Structure 1
């Protein structure tokens, strides 16, 4: 309802307007009246009306003086002047004060109705615009963490437009990016039977547990850092380093890498390897440090006896940017774009052609790496790569690849088979929405979460959201949220820092008995039994 306040020193005018205005038809309501400008100001401050109908000539303070005071105080409200004086000076001053309309007494009911209707339509248009702006603001806030993550990915993988100004970063703690040197640690998750046997929903939980462990270690050992998950089985850490402390920093960073490796093995039974790039003075050079980190990983693999000691001439490594290729390829796979995927492959093949000394050891390693990237990328969209190639003898195929020209058709053929699968388009179409739901569950598990709220944020129906989530992950969002809470509760119980009722609240349950029953259902034991021998 639109709130209307009337100010006039004629009591009969006040009563007449209150009775004659079609309030219900206009969806408006009378909220008060006053008989002079001073009283009018007080009533306006008290009632906050949307529309003010006021006379000009009144005792103590006239209508124009009152309007001027409203402007000074920046009090909102549309003003309609209703006056028995049609003096040009009054009209000109009213125009300067940007009143909505100026009517001369006597005014007919039709005139008053038309003016009020026009003003209300204007208010409705303003309100709609305000709601649209708020909706945009809320969506920007909702996606801000994702924008930041994508910015970080583009910086470390070399896909960022180098012309973007520093002030365009939009990141918290941006002084770390400007005033410090930087170093990238590359992290590679080693493929094992344990991982290959996971369901899609279990893999999502492992992925978040993996990230949480690393973030907790960094919070303790090197707060000025960023953990960035890349597509597939790769991740990176950007360490922001105080100037003139590189040697000491490298020693500490190596220890952090060892601690991360040990903790991932201990708590998740997953194997990872880490590699380091060199220190860069400028954040815009970070992609070079990333390339060095992943080349370090490859060299470690070869030195361990799984290949020849050299596969890419070190003097030509500046043209060799595998991590950028991996990132672009995985992103194209996820969004189901066959043409874009082939274009990315062709671009990288052209890069490889510029390295005449590249040998079959690296090409075969690259094939295995690309197969792993395809597997992980499709896995996150609910597709099992091996099911698309049930009869493949991967090792035998890879052993037949000795040149760059043999690599291209092999890889293109695999992409075509994937793209021809109906599962690819169906499951990848709504991956962004599913990813948002997964992240939201892990970020807000302690709060009350329901699909109705998520559907409003994603502009998709509740039932449709539930359907695409179940199709991609293998279980309903509700069940996934419960499992996420149970995993977190178990981790908190193992720490032995909190009482059971405190843990229940921390994972979103106010009813301790209900929490305990759910926990027993998932783990076959009561919360109090966790950690006991």
Structure 2
């Protein structure tokens, strides 16, 4: 029920309005009255009505001064001025204080009812919008853990946007500024046991590995994050105290690494190996520690204990220069992201740039290395496609792929082979028509057709489908050929054409019906999309 207060120094006018207002019809009630601006100010601040009807010329404090004080005290209700004087200066000041209406006395019952109906409609619209914002905030709070995981993964892999810097760390990660950081790289070895695991079961195994590693890390370190990277690789990001030396941490790190290997072998019957990067004093250097950890594994660098596959990065090793420029973890993460959303051109660019770095910075590129890289990438493709509802083996027979990999002896061969495969994947009917992404787009399209008249935008969907806004925009455009906003506008304009051709509504009524409050803006859009003015259809 809407709460209305009335302020007027004429008691007869005040009582007359109380009797004349159709309270029940408006779903409203009178919650306060006053005869002076000073009493009105006190009363309004106490009862906080939704609507205030006030005179201007009153003793002790006039209406304009009262309204100014109310706004200073952050009163957000609607205010209607009912004055016996047509004073332009007062009207101008009233607008400055966001008064909803300025009406001259005497006022007819019909006009009073019309003004109140309009203001209550505004309140209703604002309340609906507020509830939408509350609902969206709740949904976004549910989505927050997924956003955090995505952010941590990007921070570890080195794929964060360049806009991030120390002053822009998300609030929950601000403590990173006062700590040092180190990454443990974890990789499931592709042995006979791992090859027996079905692709559909890998998510369960990855979840189990996450639980095991997190539990063990929590026993020795207060601050850490675990994140999956790609294929069979994951990372444990550890946060240390600034005065903690690398050599002092080695025993703890070595013990944690061996326990991870033993526990995963015991519980999951999987073999893993662990790489240990070096400590970084700045959180922006975390990706360097990640690359070092996996570099240590690839080169089988120094082992703390000979019986476990735990490798420590040797900063004095010959490969230090290569680690600085050849960043496979970042490359794999960027390529996986492009494949998931069918960014074919972007995938080509990532591959070309990476191979150029390899050719420039590696002393020699052997066929074995290129074939190993092809195998790693093929595994990533398989996981990416599985996440969008496809099975890579259904598109490319395994025997054929193995033969093709054996023929890769030069970077150019690898580039062509990858580009050909990506082209087939991204243009396949399965990828565009039968993936999980298509189901998401179909639900968005249905929602647009049902709610085109509402204030909807792309971010409303992110909390429902657990896909970031940028990825969702790409997915939608890939599936429909249009941006989300263009598609929504086209649906609205098509509906507006139907309504106008029925000739039962005026142009401004049609504009509001299809979601546009600004009639000139609607008319411009209508002409842009149809080539004619909306008025042409109602003649």
- Note whether the superposition's TM-score is higher than 0.5: yes
Aligned to 1:323: 329
Asked if structure 2 preserves the Cα contact closer than 8 Å seen for 1:86 and 1:104, the reply is yes
Asked if structure 1 preserves the Cα contact closer than 8 Å seen for 2:3 and 2:31, the reply is no
Asked if structure 2 preserves the Cα contact closer than 8 Å seen for 1:182 and 1:282, the reply is yes
What is the distance in 2 between the residues matched to 1:337 and 1:271? 34
Asked if structure 2 preserves the Cα contact closer than 8 Å seen for 1:180 and 1:240, the reply is yes
Asked if structure 1 preserves the Cα contact closer than 8 Å seen for 2:183 and 2:236, the reply is yes
Q: 1:200 and 1:87, CA in 2 relative to 1: closer, same or farther beyond 3 A? A: same
1:335 to 332, 336, 341: 341
Cα deviation 1:64-84 (Å, max 9, x = unaligned): 665455345433312223345
Aligned to 2:354: 348
What is the distance in 2 between the residues matched to 1:394 and 1:371? 9
1:271 offset after TM fit, Å?
Answer: 2.2
Aligned to 2:111: 111
Tell me the secondary structure at the aligned position of residue 148 of structure 2. helix
Aligned to 2:393: 386
Asked if structure 2 preserves the Cα contact closer than 8 Å seen for 1:84 and 1:104, the reply is yes
Cα deviation 1:171-215 (Å, max 9, x = unaligned): 414222x22222221111223555555566643333222222222
Asked if 1:182 corresponds to 2:181, the answer is yes
Q: 1:42 and 1:456, CA in 2 relative to 1: closer, same or farther beyond 3 A? A: farther
**When the two structures are superposed, what TM-score results if normalisation uses the length of structure 2?**
0.69
1:170 offset after TM fit, Å?
Answer: 0.8
1:398 offset after TM fit, Å?
Answer: 3.0
Q: 1:407 and 1:414, CA in 2 relative to 1: closer, same or farther beyond 3 A? A: same
Asked if 1:146 corresponds to 2:152, the answer is no
Q: 1:431 and 1:345, CA in 2 relative to 1: closer, same or farther beyond 3 A? A: farther
Cα deviation 1:367-422 (Å, max 9, x = unaligned): 22122222222233332222222352544443332222222233233333433543
Aligned to 1:308: none
1:51 offset after TM fit, Å?
Answer: 0.7
Asked if 1:402 corresponds to 2:402, the answer is no
Bigger shift: 218-227 or 6-15? Answer: 6-15
Q: 1:419 and 1:284, CA in 2 relative to 1: closer, same or farther beyond 3 A? A: same
What is the distance in 2 between the residues matched to 1:123 and 1:315? 64
Q: 1:24 and 1:360, CA in 2 relative to 1: closer, same or farther beyond 3 A? A: same
Q: How does 1:50-129 map to 2 (within 5 A)?
A: 50-56=50-56, 67=67, 70-84=70-84, 98-124=98-124, 126-127=126-127
Asked if structure 2 preserves the Cα contact closer than 8 Å seen for 1:36 and 1:60, the reply is no
What is the distance in 1 between the residues matched to 2:432 and 2:160? 27
Matched pairs, number: 434
What is the distance in 1 between the residues matched to 2:13 and 2:172? 59
Asked if structure 1 preserves the Cα contact closer than 8 Å seen for 2:18 and 2:30, the reply is no
Aligned to 2:221: 222
What is the distance in 1 between the residues matched to 2:95 and 2:295? 71
Asked if structure 1 preserves the Cα contact closer than 8 Å seen for 2:187 and 2:234, the reply is yes
**When the two structures are superposed, what TM-score results if normalisation uses the length of structure 1?**
0.69
Point out where structure 1 has 5 or more consecutive residues left out of the alignment. Answer: 305-311, 435-453, 461-533
Asked if structure 1 preserves the Cα contact closer than 8 Å seen for 2:156 and 2:287, the reply is yes
Tell me the secondary structure at the aligned position of residue 377 of structure 1. helix
